[in-house]
Structure formats: structure tokens, C-alpha cells
Amino acid sequence: MSAFAEPTAALDAERAAPASVAEPAFDAQDLYRSAVTTQLRHDLALALRAAALHGLGEGVCNHFSVMLPDDSGCFLINPRGLLWSEVKADDIVLTDASGQRLAGRHEVEPTAMFIHAAIHRVAGKACVLHTHMPYATALTLVAPRTLDTTLSQNAMRFHGRVMIDPDYNGLALDDSEGLRIAHAMDGADVVFLANHGVVVCGTDVAYAYDDLYYLERACQAEVLARSTGLPLKPAAPALAAHVGAQVESERLQSTLFLSLIHISEPTRQAEI
């Protein structure tokens, strides 16, 4: 049998089966189809496809989420069982503050529910991107388990913004592990999860995705530099902090980056 055989009947059934839906105090379908939520669904789906294009995904694992800009505590997240490259706006799922599905045609994967719900609720982050992208993950496997933010220019944009979660506890299959990760962030935008991957947060999808992309580029540069075996030549911490402030003062590039990916992708007509 080919390694690329058609999905099994069980997988087909899981994808097609109606997902269980929580009962909100408001009309979830109206909220899901509102103009603001629809735009966020398009933004999140685009970021997922961009991540697939840039090699930041891993099978059907890992998730991106964004909170709705209201007081409901609800957030949007990509569904279980879809490749990032195939996710469209109507595949995105709406959940309540605890991660229980409210609207959307797919289920949510349990580890996504526990990690993302906790980070949105406890850390108060608007957009949460969790990946096992290769170079960043590689740095979680070795001391000091993080990026050196004084090495490359790309790394300096993260100076003072990174935390390390040094305790790997296996898959996040309950509330306690999601809460532990959220508290380990201690307000940081970026957290390196030991033996696991990274979480990147932002005030909106475009900013968070731009940081995710450049974090992986910075980690790639560090891994390649270390692989030469030659002495590393870091910049002064004060200069790294200055560069980080320069990047934060000019984020138009972040919005333009994601917009240009939308314009250039072959499937853009289906998303307009």
C-alpha cells in the first residue's frame, strides 16, 4: 500500500461527523458570521497557509488562535485534522474561553484547546501561535534552551521579549499543563518550551506571524553559526535592546508581509 494512500474510513468519519457544540448565552452563528469575526477567520487561515509555505508546520499538529475583540472571551483556532496548507476561513473554529467549540464545522484537537485557552485566558494574549518549527525547536533541545538575542539582527528584535519554560511534562492533555505553560510565560511574547517547541504571541495576527517567521530565521542563523564550531561574536546587550526597540517602533512591515503573501498565493481567489 502506498504511503500516500487515501484516508481511512475512520478518519473520513471523524472529519465528516458533526462536532459537539457548547451552548453559549449569545447566538454563536451570528458571531461567527459577523464582519469582524469573518475578517479574523480569513487572517488566521492566511497565516496558517503562510506558515505551511515557509516550512513552519508539522503534519496536522500545532495551532494558531486569535481572540475576538470583545468581552466574550471567545477565540478562533484552526481545526483538528487539516493540513495548514488547506485551511480556509470557513474551516476555522470558534470556541468559548475554555476552548469548547461554539461554531464551525470541525472539532478542536485537545492539546490545542488546553494550551491556547489557558494562554488567552491567563496570559491575556490576543494572538497565540504554537509551532514545532525545526530551528527554534532545535534550540529547545540544548543549553540554554533558547535563542541568543545578541547574535543576529533578526534575533535582536526579540531582546528582552523571551522566556524559557524549562519543564517538559509531555502532551498538554489537561488544564493543568496549559495553565503551567501560560504562567511560565510571565507576560513574555515568546516562550521556548523545553524539548517541545515555541509559542509566539502578538496583538494581532499579522504582528504575531511576522515575529514567528523572523524567530525561525534567527534560530536558523544561530544553529548554522554554531555548527561551524567557530567562536560566536555577539553584539553588546545594549545594542541588541536598541535594535529591538527600532523594530517595535516600525511594524508596518508586519502587515505588508502577510498582505503580500495573500496577493501572491495561488488560492487567493477562493479566500476573497
Q: How far apart are CA 133 and CA 13, in angstroms?
A: 30
Task: List the pLDDT tens digit at each of the 272 positions of the chain.
Answer: 333 333 334 334 444 444 555 555 679 999 999 999 999 999 999 999 999 999 999 998 999 999 999 989 999 999 999 999 999 999 999 999 988 999 999 999 988 889 999 999 999 999 999 999 999 999 999 999 999 999 999 999 999 999 999 999 999 888 899 999 999 999 999 999 999 999 999 999 999 999 999 999 999 999 999 999 999 999 999 999 999 999 988 877 777 887 777 766 765 544 54
Whether 191 and 184 have beta carbons less than 8 Å apart is answered as yes
pLDDT for res 200:
98
Q: What is the chain's alpha carbon radius of gyration, rounded to the nearest angstrom?
A: 19
Q: How far apart are CA 260 and CA 262, in angstroms?
A: 5
Phi, psi (deg, nearest 5) at residue 67: -80, 150
Degrees, nearest 5: CA angle 245-251-256? 155
pLDDT for res 180:
94
pLDDT for res 23:
58
**pTM score:** 0.87
Degrees, nearest 5: CA angle 112-114-117? 90
Q: Tell me whether strands 162-165 and 190-193 are parallel, antiparallel or unpaired.
A: parallel
Phi, psi (deg, nearest 5) at residue 49: -65, -35
pLDDT for res 249:
87
Q: How far apart are CA 152 and CA 154, in angstroms?
A: 5
Could you tell me where the DSSP H helices lie in the chain?
A: 9-16, 28-33, 35-53, 110-118, 134-139, 153-156, 175-185, 205-227, 237-248, 252-264, 268-271
pLDDT for res 262:
73
pLDDT for res 258:
77
Q: How far apart are CA 17 and CA 248, in angstroms?
A: 44
pLDDT for res 6:
37
Give residues with Cβ within 8 angstroms of 69, minimum separation 6: 36, 126
